[in-house]
Chains A and B, each alone.
Chain A
Amino acid sequence: DAGVTQSPTHLIKTRGQHVTLRCSPISGHKSVSWYQQVLGQGPQFIFQYYEKEERGRGNFPDRFSARQFPNYSSELNVNALLLGDSALYLCASSSGTGVETQYFGPGTRLLVL
């Protein structure tokens, strides 16, 4: 079975631009979570979606938004990019929103210049 997929793998943007990152969960999983990982730190939680509804939000500004589609895939959008948004963006898939194991995709590496 295919694991979690993410696109694109790498992205270079300039300050002030907008970016959309995409994620497809493991088949049968209905929950997608997004994390940001800056160099040298552990991943930080951004959002969790389940059945197209937001189930959790981390401490990130409103420039960050996300949505989940009927096929359970998800998009993360970041507006007005800042240099500090440069990071590895990780999507995690799980069967539910409780204590289930989350499986990570390969990530999207975003560089903001």
Chain B
Amino acid sequence: QKEVEQNSGPLSVPEGAIASLNCTYSDRGSQSFFWYRQYSGKSPELIMSIYSNGDKEDGRFTAQLNKASQYVSLLIRDSQPSDSATYLCAVTPGGKLIFGQGTELSVKP
């Protein structure tokens, strides 16, 4: 079992729709959870961090964390073509980040 698993892509949604990205992790000692966006050929860019169970909203982005189910998700509302990228889920018990393989999102105009 991989330490961090993301739903396999690519995920294609129409412009204006809600994109839902999911991630599960195996280490119950994980304390911090992050979503990074990575455009092709670029480095990862932080979108959201979440530390407590529940929802955290930032503009069009909402991160959801359920530690009991070891599950993290990212919702992107009113998706735009500029949101087309690979989304990386990362968890850490402290120190190193452990990444999933990423989910490629394509937003069609």
Chain A contact residues, CB within 8 Å of chain B: 33, 35, 40-45, 48, 55-56, 58, 88, 90, 92, 97-99, 101-107
Report the count of interface residues on B (CB-CB < 8 A): 24
Which residue of A is nearest B42, CB measured? A106
Q: Name the segment of B14-22, B53-61, B62-70, B91-99 touching the other chain.
A: B91-99
Q: Is the CB of B42 within 8 A of A58?
A: no
Query: Looking at the complex, which one of A56, A101, A104 makes contact with B95 (CB distance below 8 Å)?
Result: A56
Q: Is the CB of A104 within 8 A of B51?
A: no
Q: Is the CB of B96 within 8 A of A42?
A: no
CB-defined A-B contacts under 8 Å, sample of 26:
A33-B96, A41-B102, A42-B99, A42-B100, A42-B101, A42-B102, A43-B99, A90-B44, A97-B94, A98-B94, A99-B31, A99-B32, A99-B92, A99-B94, A101-B34, A101-B46, A101-B49, A102-B34, A102-B97, A103-B46, A104-B36, A104-B43, A104-B45, A105-B43, A106-B42, A106-B43
Which residue of A is nearest B49, CB measured? A101
Inter-chain contact total with CB atoms closer than 8 Å: 57
| A88 and B49 alpha carbons, distance in the complex (Å) | 23
CB distance from A7 to the nearest CB of B (A): 14
B88 at the interface (CB under 8 A from A): yes
CB distance from A104 to the nearest CB of B (A): 5
Query: Looking at the complex, which one of A99, A101, A107 makes contact with B43 (CB distance below 8 Å)?
Result: A107
| A48 and B97 alpha carbons, distance in the complex (Å) | 10
Which residue of B is nearest A44, CB measured? B99
| A99 and B94 alpha carbons, distance in the complex (Å) | 5
